[in-house]
Amino acid sequence: MNKSASITILQNDQGATEEITDEVTIEEPLEFSIAFGAHSSREIKNLAVTMRTPGNDFELVLGFLYSEGIIKNKSDVQAITRMDNLEDSSNIENTVLVELDETLSVDPQKIRNFYINSSCGICGSQVVDDIGSLQQYHSSKSDFLVAESVLRTLPGRLQKQQDAFSQTGGLHASALFDQQGSILSLFEDVGRHNALDKLIGRELQNNNLPLFQSGLILSGRTSFELIHKAALAGIPVVVSIGAPSSLAVDAAWEYEITLAGFLQADRFNIYSFPRRIN
- How many Cβ atoms sit within 10 Å of the Cβ of residue 182? 12
Homologous superfamily (CATH) of 139-276 is Cytidine Deaminase, domain 2 (3.40.140.10)
Q: 83: how many CB neighbours lie within 10 A of its CB?
A: 17
* CA dihedral for 113, 56, 219, 141, sign (positive or negative): positive
Neighbours of 111 (CB within 10 A): 16
DSSP state of 245: P
Residues of the chain with pLDDT under 70: 1, 87, 109-134, 164-170
Instruction: Indicate if 120 belongs to the active site.
Output: yes
Cis ω on the peptide bond leading into residue 210 (within 30° of 0)?
Answer: yes
Which candidate in 5, 9, 120, 127 is catalytic? Answer: 120
pLDDT for residue 123: 47
Task: Kindly list the domain boundaries of the chain, sorted by start residue.
Answer: 28-126, 139-276
Euclidean distance between CA atoms 81 and 32, whole angstroms: 10
Pairing of strands 237-240, 172-177: unpaired
Which pLDDT score is estimated for 24?
85
- What's the rounded Cα separation, in Å, for the pair 263 and 222? 12
| pLDDT per residue as tens digits for the range 26-41 | 899 999 999 999 988 9
Given this model, what pLDDT does residue 124 score? 41
For 5, 8, 119, 164, 170, the CA distances from 23, given in Å and listed in that order, are 5, 9, 20, 10, 9
- CA gyration radius, the chain: 20
Q: What is the pLDDT of residue 117?
A: 57
- State how far the Cα of 217 lies from the Cα of 254, in Å rounded to an integer: 19
CATH class of 28-126: alpha beta
